[in-house]
């Protein structure tokens, strides 16, 4: 069996991936994929990791934990999803993004040290990620929130390096939250380990939140009458329909932070794009790009 850890990050998913996979439990089960409900494992894994203090769990403990998480006797893949695997929100930013990411991921992995692991992570432009994070921390002022961090020196590539350093050789799949509407079917299949020809319910759920009902209906009709011959063709079609039918208030993101200017946001975005290019070239990283 292989355990797939969907690591978030915060504000990139809002549980959509997990909900979609749970919706497809029967189809996934036919392919040996198990998707436990989050209440079965999130607190359990957190408490167990704390008790282990970075040490490996015994076989007895592993069997006990698996028995509480899984209803099935056997599986090829088990998917665990939690945006706080890397950190709880108050500790996301401290000089850098997710400073304890490597240690935390390794700590969770040590609960099942003898089972192969696989990590999946969506990243997001710090120019929109940081304002959203601050909104979720109402008791913090902007100054307390930023602390000594340099907002122009926050790189997701460093988060990924910390994960890979603590868990060398473990496969890691990365994608940009901004690209998710175009690559959503590929994200689902990457996490579930399914071939392209396996149909999943809810593949259009994300698009439904971004475009008008008329646009989605037309898109679905077009794809049915003109089946795309490849992933790239489907992306081009989806992109064209988004350009025409996207709801502006769902696509555009307001950035409001004390002292931030349009030029600063543009600079942060340019640095993020450079960082994304860097990540796509990293060893042991599979990067999903539109």
- Looking at residue 70, what is its pLDDT? 95
Dihedral angle sign, alpha carbons of residues 155, 160, 161, 165: positive
Residues 6+ apart with CB under 8 A from 151: 126, 130, 264, 268
CA distance readout (Å), 26 to 20, 34, 220, 242, 261: 12, 9, 24, 31, 49
Phi and psi, residue 272, nearest 5°: -65, -45
- Looking at residue 281, what is its pLDDT? 97
d(CA 289, CA 174) in angstroms, rounded, equals 9
d(CA 207, CA 238) in angstroms, rounded, equals 9
Structural domains of the chain in order of their starting residue, each with its CATH number: 2-195+270-288 (3.40.50)
- Looking at residue 260, what is its pLDDT? 95
Tell me the three state secondary structure of residue 34: strand
- Looking at residue 129, what is its pLDDT? 96
Torsion (CA) 100, 102, 103, 104 in degrees, nearest 10: 80
- Looking at residue 153, what is its pLDDT? 97
Residue 211 DSSP class: B
- Looking at residue 234, what is its pLDDT? 85
- Looking at residue 251, what is its pLDDT? 61
- Looking at residue 211, what is its pLDDT? 85
pLDDT in tens, the chain (290 residues): 999 999 999 999 889 999 999 999 999 999 999 999 999 999 999 999 999 999 999 999 999 999 999 999 899 999 999 999 999 999 999 999 999 999 999 999 999 999 999 999 999 999 999 999 999 999 999 999 999 999 999 999 999 999 999 999 999 999 999 999 889 999 999 999 998 888 899 888 888 888 888 988 999 898 889 988 888 888 889 989 988 888 876 666 777 899 999 999 999 999 999 999 999 999 999 999 98
pTM over 0.85: yes
């Amino acid at each position: 069996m292989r355990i797939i850890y969907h690591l978030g990050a915060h504000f990139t998913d809002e549980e959509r991936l997990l909900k979609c996979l749970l919706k497809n439990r029967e189809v996934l089960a036919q392919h040996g994929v198990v998707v436990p409900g989050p209440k079965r494992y999130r607190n359990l894994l957190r408490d167990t990791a704390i008790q282990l203090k970075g040490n490996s769990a015994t076989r007895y403990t592993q069997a006990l934990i698996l028995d509480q998480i899984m209803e099935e006797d056997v599986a090829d893949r088990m998917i665990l999803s939690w945006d706080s695997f890397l950190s709880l929100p108050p500790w996301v930013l401290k000089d850098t993004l997710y400073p304890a990411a490597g240690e935390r991921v390794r700590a969770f992995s040590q609960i099942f040290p003898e089972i192969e692991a696989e990590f999946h992570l969506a990243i997001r432009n710090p120019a929109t990620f940081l304002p959203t994070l601050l909104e979720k921390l109402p008791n913090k002022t902007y100054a307390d929130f930023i602390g000594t961090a340099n907002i122009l020196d926050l790189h997701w590539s460093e988060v990924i390096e910390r994960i890979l350093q603590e868990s060398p050789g473990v496969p890691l799949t990365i994608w940009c939250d901004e690209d998710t509407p175009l690559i959503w079917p590929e994200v689902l299949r990457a996490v579930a380990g399914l071939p392209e020809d396996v149909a999943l319910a809810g593949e259009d759920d994300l698009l439904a939140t971004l475009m008008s009902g008329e646009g989605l209906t037309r898109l679905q009709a077009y794809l049915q009458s003109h089946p795309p011959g490849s992933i790239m063709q489907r992306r081009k079609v989806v992109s064209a329909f988004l350009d025409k039918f996207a709801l502006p208030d769902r696509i555009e993101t307001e950035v409001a932070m004390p002292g931030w200017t349009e030029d600063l946001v543009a600079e942060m975005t340019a640095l993020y794009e450079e960082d994304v290019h860097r990540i796509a070239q990293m060893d042991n990283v599979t990067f999903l790009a539109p």
